[in-house]
């Protein structure tokens, strides 16, 4: 069971974060807004107590959301869009299903860096709106795992512009999904201000290596069998604090 939130304590935060490289900080002196992953709890969160989540796309087809909720899944991400025109045909059903199962809801966009970032951000947000819109605590994410044969500086530039468009239009700071070597090759430069969702299925659950420019992780995708499985180090309240806050529709701000 996840401990109830306690007043922010830097010493607890430091204990909860185990750096994977000597140069990484232990978030000493961080504020709650600056520390994406140091949980506000009365003690260190064990791996067993971390929130469990899954992520899905059209590849999974119909998802039994009640089954996952009954088996301890607390949050989920579903693919909404890819590039400037593709919308996942299962997204609307998934968005509704995870919400009806009382999960923290997340939607993600698969980046195509060769395209226009603002156009892709608009396409993504319209798909979310058409699926029912956002509610308090809903999460948005950018799946950044292909370079479309572009140099790293252009990929990173695309991602920064896409994220800024989402912040400007939806008021949500998106989570960045990526993997170690992709980030180490410079494709994520300048994204350290966004929470890291790291794909690291070969690392122990809750103990992934963290690539620069980040010095801490927020969500760890630790397994692909039978679906993509994730953990979040923190409480449900911590997770929803990263999400949608303002009560206005995406339609009103597009």
- pLDDT per position as a tens digit, 95-132: 999 999 999 999 999 999 999 999 999 999 999 999 99
Tell me: pLDDT of 207 over 80.
Answer: yes
Q: Which of 19-28, 119-128, 223-232, 242-251 has the lowest mean pLDDT?
A: 19-28
Question: Does any domain span residue 22?
Answer: no
Asked if residue 34 belongs to a domain, the reply is: no
> Does residue 39 sit within a domain?
no
Q: Is residue 146 part of a domain?
A: yes
**Cα-Cα-Cα-Cα dihedral sign, residues 234, 235, 238, 244:** positive
Structural domain for 165, as ranges: 51-253
DSSP-based three-state secondary structure for 191: coil
Q: Residue 8 in 3-state DSSP? A: coil
Q: What is the pLDDT of residue 171?
A: 96
Count the helix, strand and coil residues of the chain and give each as a percent rounded to the nearest 5. Answer: 30, 20, 50
**Is residue 198 in some structural domain?**
yes
233 lies in some domain: yes
* H/E element, 31: none
Contact present, 35 and 195 (Cβ < 8 Å): no
Task: Choose between 86 and 23: higher pLDDT.
Answer: 86
- Of 10, 74, 63, 64, which is closest to residue 234 (Cα–Cα)? 74
- Token code pair at residue 119: 């156009």
pLDDT tens track for 14-58: 233 333 333 333 233 333 333 333 333 334 578 888 999 999 999
On whether residue 15 sits in a domain, the answer given is no
- pLDDT of amino acid 251: 56
Q: Residue 58: which CATH number?
A: 3.20.20.80
From 67-76, 84-93, 179-188, 240-249, the region with the lowest mean pLDDT: 240-249
More confident residue, 199 or 4: 199
Overall number of domains in the chain: 1
Residue 234 domain flag: yes
Which burial class, exposed, middle or buried, applies to 152 when counting CB atoms under 10 A from its CB (0-12, 13-18, 19+)?
A: middle
- pLDDT of res. 40: 33
């Amino acid at each position: 069971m996840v401990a109830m939130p306690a007043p922010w304590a830097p010493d607890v935060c430091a204990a909860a974060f185990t750096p994977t490289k000597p140069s990484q900080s232990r978030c000493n002196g961080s504020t709650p807004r600056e520390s994406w992953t140091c949980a506000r709890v009365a003690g260190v969160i064990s791996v067993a107590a971390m929130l469990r989540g899954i992520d899905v796309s059209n590849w999974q087809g119909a998802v039994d959301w009640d089954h996952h909720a009954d088996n301890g899944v607390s949050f989920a991400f579903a693919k909404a869009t890819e590039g400037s025109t593709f919308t996942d045909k299962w997204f609307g059903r998934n968005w509704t299903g995870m919400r009806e199962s009382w999960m923290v809801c997340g939607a993600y966009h698969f980046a195509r860096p060769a395209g226009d970032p603002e156009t892709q951000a608009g396409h993504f947000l319209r798909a979310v709106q058409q699926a029912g819109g956002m509610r308090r605590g809903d999460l948005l994410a950018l799946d950044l795992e292909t370079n479309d044969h572009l140099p790293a500086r252009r990929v990173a530039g695309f991602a920064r512009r896409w994220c800024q468009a989402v912040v400007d239009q939806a008021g949500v700071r998106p989570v960045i999904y990526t993997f170690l070597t992709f980030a180490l090759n410079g494709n994520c430069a300048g994204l350290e201000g966004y929470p890291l969702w790291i794909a690291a299925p070969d690392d122990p659950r809750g103990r992934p290596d963290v690539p620069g420019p980040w010095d801490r992780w927020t969500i760890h995708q630790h397994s692909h069998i039978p679906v993509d499985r994730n953990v979040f180090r923190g409480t449900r309240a911590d997770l929803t604090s990263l999400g949608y806050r303002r009560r206005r529709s995406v339609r009103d701000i597009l």
